[in-house]
Amino acid sequence: MGGYLWRRLAYMVPTLLVVSVIIFSLVRMVPGDIIDQMVAEMAAQPGASGTVDRAAIERRLGLDVPVYVQYGRWIAGVVQGDLGETFSGYGSVTEKIFGRLPVTFELGLLSILIGLVIAIPIGIYSAIRQNSVGDYVGRTTAIAFMSVPNFWVGTMVMIYPAVLFRWSPPMEVIPFFEDPLGNLGMFVIPSMVLGMSLAGSTMRMTRTMMLEVLRQDFIRTAWSKGLRERIVILRHATRNALIPVVTWVGFQIPMLVGGAVVTETIFGLPGTGRLLVDALSDRDYPVVTGVALIVAAFVVLVNLLVDLTYAWLDPRARQD
Amino acid sequence: MIGVEQLMRARSVERGPRSAEWRLLLGISLVLLFGTSAATAAPGAASNTASDAASDKMRNVWGEMVETPRYGGTITVTTLIDYEHTDPWYNWNGTMSASPVLEKLGIGDWSIPKERYGFTSGFVPVDVITPHLAESWEMPDSTTVIFHIRRGIHWHDKPPVNGREFDAYDVEMSIQRVIGTGPFADQGPSPYAHMIKSAQIVSAGATDPWTVEVKVAEPSLLSLSAMYWQSWEGSWISPREVIEQYGDHRNWRHLVGTGPFMLEDHVDGVSWTYQSNPNYWYRDTRFPGMRLPFADKLRVLVIPDRATQIAALRSGKIDVLTGLTIEEARAIERSNPEMRIFYARSGGLNRESTMQVTRPPFDDLRVRQAMQKAIDVPAIAEHYYFGRATSAPYGLGGPAVVELGWDAGSEDWPESVREGYRYDPAGAKRLLAEAGYPNGFSFTYDASPADDLDRVQLYKYYWSLIGVETKINVLSSAAAASNKAYKGDFDMTVIGLRGNNYTPLGRLRSFMSGEIENFAQWKDPKYDALARAAYAADDVSTFKREVARASTYYASQHITLANAYPDAIVAVQPWIKGGYWGQRSIGGGGMILTMWSRFWVDESMKP
């Protein structure tokens, strides 16, 4: 197991290196470079003369050297834990990203919790009451949760309470350690919005797995032994059915990162998703590259954890 | 800006009043000095204070009995993007965040009757600017400006400045820092303060604690304008201790100013909180003697989504929302009838569709004219903008500029020019046939999501009626606004006369040969000569006349499309008071948040 873990960790290095090259190159290939945009913004100011020192700005931002030199400087900093300086604010990218990570982390964690709390009981109920009215309602709900995009739900949650009741969700982050209840109150609505699609897909996965397990011989044996339904379902069926569900949830986490981009923007949460959107529109290359690299590392780590879970659950996987 | 350019020709007072320049200089000096005495009371001379505000009514500077301003409360505004840092030297982000804290040598005077100038457009004539941190200025010769610094102003009581009295050495340091001279020679100038750079300032030095002498390379009152108030990045005055100790004040904790607010807190990506400066020196020019600011706090919430901003306004989480579209304004009027919606005449944004005139088909004036005549601009103004837009064509200056008399309106154009702007699809087809395109042609329109794509679709429809096929190419703002436009790589682009580039002076330059802003790549010696003549004008009337000639000629050439002008729309909560009628700044030059020190909150009206 130890060797397997080290081998997988070693694979992460070239993976992240390739990812960093791709991200670094791609962001610079987007039409409209940072200097042109800055020049355009400045030239739009009242009384602008149009004589802007492009070369000075390029020097200041470190864009006056070839891309491979820029990459070399950047990756040398990354190795030392320094992701560079932001273009828009001249702050440390590392500090900025790690300042925003707790928000995304809390949002993601709550979304998963909410998603699972909704999905697993309904999924189990749908399976054990297959083709009942409750099952149909559960399945319809699951499909609705998966079909409705979270940006639309988020926008509706913002607009309609404001129009009808002159109320809108909180828009300022309350630190957890200052006011835990206020903090949870702030995150609960965006987390529900973000957790919806996870809930829908997990609900269906749980139902499917439960139906499969419920048809297994050992479940028939359990029934034959005269065990009560609660024991059969919870102790025998659910525990086995949830193994692939846990794996499924693990693979959904990167999707949540993508969803957080939209949710954070709509609800004004200062997380890494919103940071990425802002940086992309500003062509703030160091921030875009830094966030993308951190997210890539996170996804690779989650995949590793999922694989390790598999390896722990199924010894055959360790041989692969 | 215009007045300043006229002043570029001003001569030394020592040479005597021998020219029109002198008369102009004298006139504007009088305006400035009069503004000083009338507008600003000396520090400590305030007779009315918060205690006097207990009465309900008071007489304002215009002699009207009005509600007495109240102290206290919080004004909350919003921004789509975070400001990131607090040093204007580094770019306009710092300008925005520092604008309630730092101050300039000059500032707009809101005691000017709003009928004369309402501060609702981006165009700020020089004669509404009054001395602020400077008490006055003079020009002993054509390349020297001397600022006399106001006494009795103190920096915020924050380290490392600790409430020291502001003086000429702070001004000297601030100017040297922005132009990259003296102790800042190694650092170089701010690459963003382009207006300061254009002004060709050579040196700045304090001759005593209350006098700063600035030298420029060539006679240029652009220098005065830039230093005084108009440069977004270069006109702000910082305390020298902060720069000496930290090198800059990008870090919000290092920002110390003389302004109405002190920066109390910043949460990255969430908010900026400013606390009122209890020792602010300036008194409200509209309510003589009353201390500013009225509100205890100014908060700026970073809300990156438009729908969320509107929800925040509807639910009372923010007090003001600017830049509304007509649809948004109408929806807010329906849902929140108590909300005050202000429609202000726009200063610009009229000619944002530029044609590439160096290649077919738009190298032919008849084709360009046909594109204009095919569009029913009055119908768009009436129906698309619900009548909240101006449909008359303009030249280089927008409606506000024309109304203030700094450019010719279309009614002053010759009939031959006016004719080119009349809706006439049959005439458009005829022009196309004469130009060799009887069956029309196909071209690409570069648009961006930030622009009004629905209106572009309307254009596409109109042009299809004369046989012209439009391919709309939606690019990111950066690509459309800069890359393609600056390289001239387009048929027609949404970028044209820049939205905020309101002054006729800036616009004149935009279409001169070889200018970076000349996206159309237009090279016309006749236009260049007219523009240069305007720049060389000696006095206000000559300048206006020359601008009108250049502008009319420009209009006759149809380089850009004349569109309907949507109004600038602002929604304000009813409890925000202070004579708000849609003001957009206290004098341009990035003094955006500064103006909130002039408003107060009626807490009793809050739900």
Q: What is the pLDDT averaged over residues A136-152?
A: 93
Strand-pair partners of B138: B146
Whether the CB-CB separation of B540 and A84 falls below 8 Å is answered with no
Q: Which residue in chain A has the smallest CA separation from B303?
A: A268
Amino acid at position A160, single letter: Y
Sequence-distant (6+) residues with CB within 8 A of B266 are: B86, B97, B252, B272, B273
Residues A74 and A70: their CA atoms lie apart, in Å, by 6
Give the side-chain half-sphere CA count within 13 A for B299: 17
Q: Which residues of A touch B505 (CB under 8 A)?
A: 47
Residue B454 or B212, more confident: B212
Give the model's pLDDT for residue A256.
81
- Does the pLDDT at position A58 exceed 50? yes
CA-based nearest residue to A57, from B94, B199, B193: B193
- Hey, how many other C-beta atoms are within 10 angstroms of the C-beta on B426? 10
Residue ranges of B 379-438 with Cβ closer than 8 A to chain A: none
Contact A42 B509 (CB under 8 A): no
User: What pLDDT is attached to residue A76?
Assistant: 93
A278/B304 CB distance under 8 A = yes
**Helix, strand, coil abundance in chain B, percent, nearest 5:** 35, 20, 45
Contact (Cβ atoms closer than 8 angstroms) between residue B294 and residue B599 = yes
Based on its alpha-carbon atoms, the radius of gyration of chain A, rounded to whole angstroms, reads: 24
- Cβ contacts (< 8 Å) between B485 and chain A: which residues? 40
Pick B269's closest partner by Cβ from A90, A100, A159: A100
Beta-carbon separation of A268 and B588 below 8 A: no
Average pLDDT over residues B82-90: 90
User: Quick check: B517 and A50 CB within 8 A?
Assistant: yes
Distance between A90 CA and the closest CA of chain B, angstroms: 8
Over 80: is that where the pLDDT of B103 sits?
yes
Q: Residues B131-159: pLDDT tens digits?
A: 999 999 888 887 888 999 999 999 999 99
pLDDT, position B25 = 39
Query: In this predicted structure, what is the pLDDT of residue B1?
Result: 34
Question: Which residues on A lie below 8 Å from B82 (Cβ)?
Answer: 278
- Say yes or no to pLDDT of A105 above 80: yes
pLDDT-based confidence at residue B2 (cuts at 50, 70, 90): very low
- Min distance B376 CA to chain A CA atoms (Å): 28
Token pair for B306: 């438009």
Structural domains in chain A, CATH included, are 102-271+305-319 (1.10.3720.10)
Question: With an 8 Å Cβ cutoff, is B336 touching chain A?
Answer: yes
CB atoms within 10 A of CB B205: 17
Of the pLDDT bands very low, low, confident and very high (cuts 50, 70, 90), residue B18 is very low
Helices (H), B336-390: 365-373, 377-379
Amino acid B343: pLDDT: 87
CA count, 13 A, side-chain hemisphere, A247: 13
The pTM (predicted TM-score) of the whole model is 0.83
Q: What percent of chain A has pLDDT over 70?
A: 90
Q: Is B280 exposed, middle or buried (0-12, 13-18, 19+ CB in 10 A)?
A: buried
Best of B498, B503, B508, B585 to disrupt the A interface (most A CBs within 10 Å) is: B498
Res B516: pLDDT: 67
Task: Suggest the residue from B315, B332, B475, B535 to mutate for an interface test with chain A (most A CBs closer than 10 A).
Answer: B315
Q: Give residues 181 to 240 of A whose Cβ lies within 8 Å of B.
A: none
CB contact under 8 A, A268 and B84: no
pLDDT tens digits, one per residue of A291-306: 999 988 888 888 888 7
* B538 — pLDDT class (breaks 50, 70, 90): low
A28, A49, A150, best to mutate vs chain B, most B CBs in 10 Å: A49
State pLDDT tens for residues B20-52: 443 443 344 433 333 333 333 333 333 333 334
A119-133, B114-128, B218-232, B362-376: least confident range: B218-232
Tell me how far apart the alpha carbons of residues B252 and B256 are, in angstroms, rounded to a whole number. 9
What does the pLDDT read at residue A39? Answer: 61
- Of the pLDDT bands very low, low, confident and very high (cuts 50, 70, 90), residue B220 is low
* B244-261 pLDDT tens trace: 999 999 999 999 999 999
> Which residues of A fall within a CB distance of 8 Å from B589?
46
What does the pLDDT read at residue B46?
Answer: 37
Q: Using the beta-carbon criterion (under 8 Å), do A159 and B307 form an inter-chain contact?
A: yes
**A161 vs B: CB within 8 A:** yes
- Pairs across A and B, CB distance < 8 A: 212
Max avg pLDDT among B472-486, B547-561, B581-595: B547-561
Cα gap B8→B219, rounded to integer Å: 6
Distance CA B444, CA B494 (A): 11
How much is the CA Rg of chain B, to the nearest whole Å?
A: 25
More confident residue, A256 or B313: B313
Structure confidence at residue B504 as a pLDDT band (50, 70, 90):
low
Residues from chain A contacting residue B299 (CB–CB below 8 Å): none
Q: Which residue of A has its CA nearest to B193?
A: A52
Q: What is the pLDDT of residue B483?
A: 55
How would residue B16 be classed by pLDDT, with cut points 50, 70 and 90? very low
| Cβ contacts of A99 on chain B, cutoff 8 Å | 268
Q: Is A57 on the interface with B (CB under 8 A)?
A: yes
Q: What is the pLDDT of residue B55?
A: 59
Both tokens of A40, joined, read: 């355009």
With a CB cutoff of 8 Å and minimum separation 6, the contacts of B41 are: B283, B288, B289
| A313 has a pLDDT exceeding 70 | no
- β-pairing verdict for B492-493 and B442-447: parallel
Asked if residue B174 lies in contact with residue B241, where contact means CB atoms within 8 angstroms, the answer is no
Beta pairing, strands B565-566 & B74-79: unpaired
CA-wise closest residue to A305 among A259, A245, A247, A241 = A247
The nearest CA of chain B is from the CA of A249 a distance in Å of 29
More confident residue, B539 or A47: B539
Listed residue (A3, A106, A88, A104) closest to A37, CA to CA:
A88
Provide the residue type at B122 as one letter: G
Buried b (16+ CB within 10 A) or exposed e, A241-275: bbebbebbbbebbbebbebbbbbbbbbbbbbbbbb
Total Cβ atoms within 10 A of residue B388: 18
Nearest chain A residue (CA) to B503: A47
Question: In the beta sheet, which residues pair with residue B267?
Answer: B271
Inter-chain touch A53–B191, beta carbons under 8 Å: yes
Chain A hits for B90, Cβ within 8 Å:
89-90
In chain B, whose CA is at the least distance from the CA of A283?
Answer: B478
Contact call for B478 and A36, based on CB within 8 A: yes
pLDDT of residue A315: 62
Which among A41, A45, A88, A276 is the top mutation candidate for probing chain B, defined by the most B β-carbons within 10 Å of its own β-carbon?
A45
What is the distance in angstroms between the Cα of B353 and the nearest Cα belonging to chain A?
15
Q: Tokens 């940071």 appear where?
A: A275
Element (H, E) at B138: strand B134-141
Report residue B92 CA to chain centroid gap: 13
Measured between CA atoms, how close is A268 to chain B, in angstroms?
A: 5
User: Looking at beta carbons, which residues of chain B come within 8 Å of A37?
Assistant: 477-478, 481-482
Say if A159 is an interface residue toward chain B (CB within 8 Å).
Answer: yes
pLDDT tens for each residue of B329-388: 999 999 999 999 998 876 555 567 889 999 999 999 999 999 999 999 999 999 999 998
User: What is the pLDDT of chain A when averaged over all its residues?
Assistant: 86
Mutation target among B84, B96, B335 for the A interface, most CBs of A within 10 A:
B84
* pLDDT tens readout for residues A166-190: 999 988 888 888 899 999 989 999 9
Residue B257: its pLDDT value, please?
A: 97
Q: How confident is the model at residue B5 (pLDDT cuts 50, 70, 90)?
A: very low
ipTM of the complex: 0.82
**For the ranges A201-205, B121-125, B297-301, which has the lowest average pLDDT?**
B121-125
Q: Which two tokens stand for residue B406?
A: 């700094």
Collapse the DSSP code of B476 into the 3-class scheme (helix H, G, I; strand E, B; otherwise coil) and give the result: coil
Residue B393: partners with Cβ closer than 8 Å, 6 or more residues away: B350, B377, B410, B418, B421, B555, B562
Question: Considering chain B, what percentage of its residues have pLDDT values greater than 70?
Answer: 83
* CA distances to A103, A250, A306, B470 from A108, in Å: 8, 12, 17, 45
Q: What is the pLDDT of residue A301?
A: 87
Assign B30 to helix, strand or coil: helix
**pLDDT band at B91, cuts 50/70/90?**
confident
Q: Extract the tokens encoding A226.
A: 């005269």
CB neighbour class for B359 (10 Å; exposed up to 12, middle 13-18, buried from 19): exposed
Query: What pLDDT does residue B553 have?
Result: 96
Residue from the list B189, B230, B486 with its beta carbon closest to the beta carbon of A36: B486
Whether the CB of A150 is below 8 Å from some CB of chain B: the reply is no
- Name the band, by pLDDT with cuts 50, 70 and 90, for residue B222: low
pLDDT above 90 for B298: yes
**In this model, does residue A44 exceed pLDDT 70?**
no
What average pLDDT does this structure show over B183-190? 90
* B375 alpha carbon, distance to own chain's centre: 29
d(CA B399, CA B56) in angstroms, rounded, equals: 38
Q: Which residue from B11, B374, B479 is spatially nearest to A31, judged by alpha carbons? A: B479
Please tell me if residue B584 touches chain A, with a CB cutoff of 8 Å.
Answer: no
User: Which position has the token pair 């200018």?
Assistant: B515
pLDDT above 90 (res B414): yes
Look at residue B560 and give its three-state secondary structure: strand
Please, which residues 358-377 of chain B have a Cβ atom closer than 8 Å to chain A? none
Tens digits of residue pLDDT in A242-287: 888 888 888 788 778 788 888 999 998 999 999 998 888 778 889 9
Which residue in the set A37, A44, A266 is minimally distant from B305, CB to CB? Answer: A266
Handedness of CA A183, A186, A190, A191 (dihedral sign): positive
Q: Which residues of B touch A46 (CB under 8 A)?
A: 1, 122-124, 230, 232, 500-503, 506, 588-589
Mark out the alpha helices in chain A (DSSP H runs). 2-29, 34-43, 54-61, 67-79, 93-128, 133-147, 150-165, 180-214, 217-224, 229-230, 239-267, 272-282, 285-313, 315-318
Nearest to B232 by CA among B197, B258, B259, B272: B197
Q: Does B305 touch chain A (CB under 8 A)?
A: yes
Assign B401 a pLDDT band (cuts: 50, 70, 90). Answer: confident
Q: Do B303 and A277 touch (CB under 8 A)?
A: no
